[in-house]
Amino acid sequence: MSITIALAGNPNCGKTTLFNELTGSKQHVGNWPGVTVDKKDGVYKKNREVTILDLPGIYSLSPYSAEEIVARDYLVKDKPDAVIDIVDGTSIERNLYLSLQIMETGIPMVIALNMMDEVETKGDKIDCQKLSETLGVPVVPVVARSGKGLKDLMDTAIETAQSHKKPEKLNLFDQDLQNAIAGIADVLGGNNEDESQWKAIKLIENDVVVEKAVDPAKLAAIKILVEKANKNARGDAEAKIADTRYQYISQLVKECVKKAHRGHVETKSDKLDKILTSRILALPIFAVVMYIMFACTFSENFLFIEGLPSPGVWLAGIVETMWGMIAEGVVGVIEGLGASEWAVGLVASCLDGIGAVAGFLPLVLVLFLLLSFLEDSGYMARVAFVMDRIFRHFGLSGRSFIPMLMGFGCSVPALMASRTLESDKDRKITMMITPFMSCGAKLPIYAMFAATLFAEGNQTMIVFSVYMLGIIVAVIGALILNKFAFKSDASSFIMELPQYRVPTIKSVLIHAWEKVKGFAVKAGTVIFASTVLIWFLSNFNFSGMCDMEESFLATIGNGIKWIFAPLGWADWRASVGVVTGWIAKENIVATFGQLFGNVSEEVVEAVMAGEEGLPAIGQVFDQVSAYSYMAFNLLCMPCFAAVGAIKREMGSWKWTLRAVGFQMVTAYVVALLINVIGHLIF
Amino acid sequence: MPLSMVEQGDIREITEFRGQEEMKRHLQDLGFIKGEKVRVVGENPSGMILLVKGVKIALNRALANRIMVAD
């Protein structure tokens, strides 16, 4: 008989570690529908009949965040066979608050009392037997990091699931509240007593989401009962419910936990925090950490040594070279077999498409090894806090800094890094503006225009100003999205700072591997398909294979060039450049090389490096329209790899299209402004 | 007085929250309830770090201004 067991618990309670220990590598990561919240499930290593579902970390079952809504919807509507509630033994009082709420749902439940090693190190003692007897729920002590107690935990959980043993009703609330709950549950009716009771409690707690789902005919009667409950609780029944739960917990903890020290003892974590979140040192230390992370992933002059590639760049180079050799070999073999020109071209373009995906994998891997180290160690929560003051002005979270900074290297891993953001809204906004950070592949475009159209002394300034433009547009874009698209009040910041812990190698590796796999599979298809499509458009017309000048793409370029007239470059070659830039932005230079005078590959290389200009583009561009073109390509839809990453992270085509639409409109408006204002001035 | 005025190292009792219902509920979930004693363990330009029910919680000044504690 197959069983589904859900893992629930506070953020930082060790839930993910437990999940990894239980499922090993047999896990599947996806999205909950409509939100960018991870949905992870896997099969229990020791019993393939058991599916384990990792719910997002939550503090309660109230609808404060997307995570909380997702988790409780699952628990109440989908009803797993059992739920394992993970309680961090080192902060048992706060963690049990969620446990009491999960018990109210009536789902068979087991408490995993985690971090027991740290509890023991502190010298505290927790009486699990008594805890279990008082709560009426099995309590199993575990150490998720080392795997201790997990067999016992799973045996208990499976047994609980199979016997459908519900948690005992605690009846914490006083007579007034109990009457109110029973009364409202009565009005709600329905054949599931647990569910109507749970809903009744939520309705007294002024839960808007539950209220919306109630039959409108019953709402008036319920409102009267809630009002009465409030009157009995001196105006605030909700506060009374919370208070009752906490009072029960503190009594329970008094009976079951023996603390070695009274009051607060300064821990290693506290000492570290004195430095890492200090008034003066916090930002400089963060700057250094960020620099190291960026350098390890993207630097071509690692550790300031000229020409020494960073681990990320080095690996990417190896993958690219190897793939290049394989592709060349395969193409050679097909040619040798006497395949037609278009067949060879198709195979080559498919191989290119796969190569484009493969080339990003090392960057994703290295960045995520580092990121998950920072995340698991607890430092990332401090970053969010320390950077919050600056980013709040733009309506973003402090954590948005990381994806945005990484965006200067490559948008693909940067977009994937947005997963570390706390709220769904922040994640979406950050993903929409991260491609505005000028990535490494866009530099050759600026280099080409600077070397061709601008005076020697101004070239650096021009390139630098494009980078600045990206940052400014990102900030304005974030403000606009916040104000009009998401309408949020972003004035408060509150977040738990977990204890510092040395991450386990296993969890860091699993996390990085998940990211690489997710990118290769989910984003890979988007990248592959679009690369092949553009290859087809740029090499074919109705009479078969042809040069780019006569291809479908040229026809399309001619057809759409009027759109760009207000931007100052109504030329089919410029339009084609925008499209080939979506495969990889640096392609624009090669396309221009081919379309403006068919120059050799060596010249294209030199143009990319900014050592040489491409004089023929002067026929189409003046300085202002060149700047408008650079701005457009900086801001418009990023390369397909990045769009694939957006799709993968957003988890929905609707949001992906919204993001791309936002980028296209922004690019058009900014380029238009540059062209109009520029030509007024110059 | 508002929590934001409490100095580092001091322990105060929460008396009231002045703000939106939604935030009030989230604060409850994190252990901020009437009568709870919280200790200020750190301060920096972003806000303050508190110890609530044995857990460290960081919050910004805008929020700390709306949480009232006993004098």
For chain B, which residues make up each domain, given as ranges?
3-69
Output the pLDDT for position A489.
Answer: 59
Separation between Cα atoms, residue A155 and residue A361, nearest integer Å = 39
- Has residue A222 got a pLDDT over 90? yes
Of A404-418, A463-477, A522-536, B12-26, the least confident: A522-536
Output the pLDDT for position A299.
Answer: 82
How far is B68 from chain A, CA to nearest CA, in Å? 15
Separation between Cα atoms, residue A184 and residue A340, nearest integer Å = 76
Sign for the CA dihedral angle at A146, A22, A57, A194 comes to: negative
CB proximity list for A585: less than 8 A, separation 6 or greater: A439, A441, A442, A444, A445, A633, A638, A639
Question: What predicted TM-score, i.e. pTM, was given to this entire model?
Answer: 0.84
Q: What is the pLDDT of residues A317-333, one digit of tens each?
A: 899 899 989 999 999 99
Taking CA atoms, what residue in B is nearest to A242?
Answer: B28
Q: Do A76 and A190 form a contact (C-beta atoms < 8 A)?
A: no
Q: Work out the pLDDT band at A424, boundaries 50, 70, 90.
A: confident
The mean pLDDT value for A525-554 works out to 86
- Has residue A664 got a pLDDT over 90? yes
Output the pLDDT for position A520.
Answer: 83
Instruction: Give contacts of A92 with chain B, Cβ < 8 Å.
Output: 54
Instruction: Give contacts of B56 with chain A, Cβ < 8 Å.
Output: 269, 273, 496-499
**Considering chain A, what is the average pLDDT of its residues?**
90
Closest partner CB to A91 (pick from B27, B54, B62): B54
CATH homologous superfamily for the domain B3-69? Ferrous iron transport protein A (FeoA) (2.30.30.90)
Of A77-81, A162-166, A353-357, the least confident: A353-357
Separation between Cα atoms, residue A650 and residue A360, nearest integer Å = 19
Output the pLDDT for position A137.
Answer: 96
What is the phi/psi pair of residue A257, to 5°? -115, 130
User: Tokens for B56?
Assistant: 């460290």
Return the closest-CA partner of residue A146 out of A249, A322, A270, A18.
A18
Output the pLDDT for position A26.
Answer: 74
Q: What is the pLDDT of residues A188-219, one digit of tens each?
A: 988 888 889 999 999 999 998 899 989 999 99
**Burial (CB count within 10 angstroms: exposed 0-12, middle 13-18, buried 19+), residue A668:** middle
The mean pLDDT value for A397-417 works out to 88
The mean pLDDT value for B21-37 works out to 92
Percent of chain A with pLDDT over 90: 56
Q: How far apart are the first and last CA of chain B?
A: 6
Separation between Cα atoms, residue A590 and residue A573, nearest integer Å = 12
User: How many Cα atoms are found within 13 Å in the side-chain-facing hemisphere of A374?
Assistant: 21
The answer to whether A491 contacts B62, with C-beta atoms less than 8 Å apart, is yes
Separation between Cα atoms, residue A391 and residue A488, nearest integer Å = 15
Output the pLDDT for position A544.
Answer: 85
Query: How many A×B Cβ pairs under 8 Å?
Result: 121
Q: What is the pLDDT of residues A230-273, one digit of tens each?
A: 999 888 899 999 999 999 999 999 999 998 887 777 888 999 99
The mean pLDDT value for A115-134 works out to 94
Q: Work out the pLDDT band at B47, boundaries 50, 70, 90.
A: very high
The answer to whether A94 contacts B51, with C-beta atoms less than 8 Å apart, is no
Output the pLDDT for position A360.
Answer: 80
One-letter identity of residue A514: E
Q: Work out the pLDDT band at A376, boundaries 50, 70, 90.
A: confident
Output the pLDDT for position A9.
Answer: 95
- Has residue A1 got a pLDDT over 80? no
Q: Work out the pLDDT band at A656, boundaries 50, 70, 90.
A: very high
Output the pLDDT for position A249.
Answer: 96
Output the pLDDT for position A611.
Answer: 85
Q: CA-CA distances (angstroms) from residue A531 to A349, A528, A535?
A: 7, 5, 6
Q: Do A385 and A499 form a contact (C-beta atoms < 8 A)?
A: no
Separation between Cα atoms, residue A46 and residue A155, nearest integer Å = 10
Q: Look at residue B56 and give its three-state secondary structure.
A: strand
Closest partner CB to A388 (pick from B39, B42, B60): B60
Return the closest-CA partner of residue B65 out of A98, A661, A494.
A494
The mean pLDDT value for A459-469 works out to 92
- Domains, chain A, with CATH or none: 3-163 (3.40.50.300), 175-258 (1.10.287.1770)
- Is some CB atom of chain B closer than 8 A to the CB atom of A236? no
Separation between Cα atoms, residue A162 and residue A167, nearest integer Å = 14
Q: Do A439 and A408 form a contact (C-beta atoms < 8 A)?
A: yes
- Is some CB atom of chain B closer than 8 A to the CB atom of A278? yes
The answer to whether B39 contacts A392, with C-beta atoms less than 8 Å apart, is no
Output the pLDDT for position A556.
Answer: 93
- Has residue A483 got a pLDDT over 80? yes
Output the pLDDT for position A490.
Answer: 60
3-state secondary structure A49-103: CEEEEECCCCCCCCCCCHHHHHHHHHHHHHCCCEEEEEEEHHHHHHHHHHHHHHH
The answer to whether B47 contacts A381, with C-beta atoms less than 8 Å apart, is no
Q: Do A641 and A356 form a contact (C-beta atoms < 8 A)?
A: yes
Percent of chain B with pLDDT over 90: 80
A529 alpha-carbon distance from chain centroid: 24
368-427 in chain A: CB under 8 A from chain B? 381-382, 385-389, 392, 398
Q: Work out the pLDDT band at A36, boundaries 50, 70, 90.
A: low
- Has residue A455 got a pLDDT over 70? yes
Percent of chain A with pLDDT over 70: 99
Closest partner CB to A94 (pick from B31, B35, B43): B31
Output the pLDDT for position A488.
Answer: 64
**Chain B positions with Cβ closer than 8 Å to A:** 19-23, 25-31, 33-36, 39, 41-47, 49, 51-60, 62-63, 66
Q: Look at residue A189 and give its three-state secondary structure.
A: coil
- Residue A82 forms beta bridges with which residues? A5
Q: Work out the pLDDT band at A391, boundaries 50, 70, 90.
A: confident
Q: What is the pLDDT of residues B57-68, one digit of tens each?
A: 999 999 999 999
